[in-house]
Amino acid sequence: MWFRRDLRLIDNPALLAAIEAGQEIVPVFILDPKLIDITGAKGLAYLANSLQCLDQSLNNKLHVYAGDPLEVLKDVKKKYDATSVHIQAEYDRYAVERDSRIEAAGIELTRTGSPYAVAPGRVKKPTDATNYRVYTPFYRAWLVHGWRAAVSAPKSIKAVTPDPSDRNFPQWKAPEGTEIPKAGEKAAHERFKKFKAKAIDSYDESRNFAGIDGTSKMSTHLTWGEIHPRTLLTGLGESKAHDTFRKEIAWREFYADVLYNYPHTDKDYYAPQFANMRYDEPGEKFKAWCEGKTGYPFVDAGMRQLIKEGWMHNRVRMVVASFLAKDLHIEWQHGALFFEEHLVDFDVASNAHGWQWTAGCGTDASPYYRVFNPIEQGKRFDENGDYIRKYVPELAHLSADQIHEPWDADGGYKNGYPKKLVEHSLERIESLARLEEIKVRNTE
């Protein structure tokens, strides 16, 4: 059983298939240098913790190897005289190429299940069997398609006892001063239980407020496969709050489907005309955005939360992305790469298409001329300023009616908070002017 992004026992059909196929299984995780190179320090530290949790649940039988997956699988197959290799299917561009290369070399991979309730490519338009390019009809068809019920963890697992040489667990630690979430399948279920008890029934409203614990925080657990989306969907009702949560899971599946059908959009434009827009070089202004020093409190709080925790509230993700694309006029790919480096819940499809949605060049695009006002968003979704105070201590002395506009407050800058990088009202006009330029260019 080759574990990848399915670090769990509950509702893992590939694991059940492996158990059914043989007397004993060899549970394997491979540290792929190519994936390690593109994963940030916080993500690697999270993975190291998650592997320890998986190993405990397997009674310390997990085999961990570092190296090219093809070479590792050849060696393990030979060492244990394994008759089959079981995996959960994966769909991003790198995973598809890696698995094809392994199979081309003569190792058959038995695929069972996927990281989604409905695998990418399954939901099609009934009229012409093509993929959906707009979320709302996708969601309706996704519901009609439906999904299998979650399955239990295996009652017992007969696994080969690894040699000491098979136990190459990474020792990655979170960078000093950071606080990454608790990893592992048990932590995922505990967090979801807490969310169901305290927040799911008001999710449609509470999910937008950055200063409260109103979201499920399941994204990291889903990224590493410590819980399956079917488990989250089980038992949801028809209330507006429950349906809003169901729709968020469907957004993740929609973006996976889009990336499956348009694999180039992990780094390239979904709406290609936006490649012709006039953008600014990512110089000092980009650096200030990365460091949470733009002079806009709600934006800076989000960026500092990302740097410290490897996670950012979803409402704030949209605001900081809009600020980079529309206020600083920097291409979305620069922000997406920074998120890839820092997010412990990094998901290639959700990241690329979440950014493109906000930048106005993706599917279901927020129209380009919709520009998030970073001041008004803060006032609306962090009314008392609690979120800002937590992550921007230079402003903690300001009252709720001052904290969103420290430039108007006596002593707003006394603790060294930076002045505004740009003037939002002017940059909004500039952003719309650049949009008009490509409209003209594309009709010439």
Domains of the chain, first to last = 2-114 (3.40.50.620), 119-150+186-261 (1.25.40.80), 272-443 (1.10.579.10)
Give the CA count within 13 Å in the CB-facing half-sphere of 139.
14
- 374 with 424: CB under 8 angstroms? yes
265, two tokens? 């959009």
Rounded distance, CA 258 to CA 271, Å? 13
> What's residue 441's pLDDT?
57
Nearest to 338 by CA among 368, 362, 315, 306: 306
Q: What is the pTM of this model?
A: 0.95
- 14 with 99: CB under 8 angstroms? no
> What's residue 423's pLDDT?
98
> Which phi-psi region, left, alpha or beta, contains residue 41 (left: φ > 0; alpha: ψ -120 to 50)?
alpha
> What's residue 366's pLDDT?
62
* Helix intervals (H) in 234-296: 240-261, 284-291
Low-confidence ranges of the chain (pLDDT < 50): 443-444
> What's residue 40's pLDDT?
96
Q: Tokens 């992305």 — which residue?
A: 321
125, two tokens? 């338009």
> What's residue 444's pLDDT?
45
Angle between helices 135-145 and 240-261 (to 10 degrees): 100
> What's residue 440's pLDDT?
66
Q: Tokens 């990454």 — which residue?
A: 180
Nearest to 159 by CA among 54, 66, 79, 60: 60
Nearest to 377 by CA among 318, 418, 433: 318
